[in-house]
Homo-oligomer: A and B are copies of this chain.
Amino acid sequence: MKIGVIQFEPLFGEVDRNLELAGSLIMKSDADLLVLPELFNTGYVFTSKEEAISLSEQIPQGRTTQMLCDVAKEKGIFIAGGLAEKGGNGIFNSSVLVSPDGYVGRYRKVHLFFEEKLWFDPGDEGFKVYDTGVCKVGIMICFDWFFPESMRALSLMGADIICHPSNLVMSFCQDAMKTRCLENHVFAITANRTGTESRGGKSLHFTGKSQITGPDGRVLFRAGETTEEAGIMEINVNEARSKKVNEYNDLFKDRRSDFYSILTESDR
């Protein structure tokens, strides 16, 4: 199968323009599964909770999810991408997964970064894995990568491919994803954005270098720092199904969960 990442610069609040650009980039890309950046429809640097509310949409009724469903149907592909979600119980930094048959599911970012904590509510649904029929897909968003538990949970749930919509402002993630993919023997598609957003006296620069990483920790594709581009790779998803390192070691069977209990103690 072919998996791909779409990197571009969303402009803050220009939802029409961002959806149109994302849609045209998707239409030009030949892949079975494509990943768009975090908050690709709205931009990132919110200045108030009200602004986040006003730019958020219901999932799947909102127009961003509907646009993605439309192009997914037209192209016959799966797409994951990030948007601000107006939920019944809060405003979330979410990603949807859509298929040729319509909306599949959503992920609400569990580990919020920096001022996101002012605009969004922390994800309340945990991690989920979706079976596309060809592969199993897990979603995490940007800063989730910093917590090894995110990709570990998705991988233990059976994910072959981690879709990773991102708006990265630090320099660590791309190299760290080599370790993340290696330790879990999965593929990951990190879709970052480019450009600088300056609003309300704040300025954030997004670092591009969107990346597709293989289960052996190899970087299969890395985009430019500032380019608008799609990166597509042909992969054999079966490579993510075996967790064997050698004839004696299996990364999942060798886990010693009896000794990991401190990782899930809630009173820490």
Which residues of A pack against B, CB within 8 Å? 110-117, 122-123, 126-127, 143, 146-149, 152-153, 156-157, 172, 175-176, 178-180, 182-183, 217, 245-246, 248-249, 251-252, 254-266, 268
CB of A268 within 8 A of CB of B148, answer no
How far, in whole Å, are A176 and B177 apart by their CA atoms in the complex? 10
- Residues from chain B with Cβ under 8 Å of A255 in the complex: 147, 149, 268
- Nearest Cβ on chain B to A120's Cβ, whole angstroms: 12
Contacting residue for A115 out of B115, B248, B252, CB 8 A: B248
Residue of B nearest to A261 (CB): B264
Distance of A252 Cα from B258 Cα, bound (Å): 21
> How many copies, total?
2
Residue among A246, A254, A261 facing the most chain B CB atoms (10 A cut-off): A254
Q: List 25 A-B contacts (CB under 8 A).
A: A111-B254, A113-B248, A114-B246, A117-B248, A126-B256, A126-B258, A126-B259, A146-B245, A147-B183, A148-B148, A148-B183, A153-B259, A153-B263, A156-B262, A172-B179, A172-B182, A176-B178, A176-B182, A176-B183, A252-B268, A255-B268, A257-B264, A257-B265, A260-B263, A263-B264
User: What is the bound-complex CA distance between A180 and B147, given in angstroms?
Assistant: 10
CB of A29, distance to nearest CB on chain B (Å)? 30
Instruction: Provide the residues of chain B in CB contact with A182, threshold 8 Å.
Output: 146, 172, 176
Contact A113 B249 (CB under 8 A): yes
Closest-CB distance, A190 to chain B (whole angstroms): 14
Residues on the B chain within 8 Å of A254, using CB: 111-112, 147
Question: Does A260 contact B249, Cβ atoms closer than 8 Å?
Answer: no
- Cβ-defined partner of A268 (8 Å) among B111, B156, B183, B264: B156
Could you say which of B146, B172, B180, B258 contacts A266, with CB atoms under 8 Å apart? Answer: B258
- On chain B, the residues within 8 Å of A262 by CB distance are 153, 156-157
A241: min CB distance to chain B, Å: 15
CB contacts (< 8 Å) of A260 on chain B: these are 149, 152-153, 263-264
- Neighbouring B residues of A263 by C-beta, 8 Å: 149, 152-153, 156, 257, 260, 263-264
A252 to B183, CA, bound (A): 21
Determine the chain B residues whose CB is within 8 A of the CB of A115 once the complex forms.
248
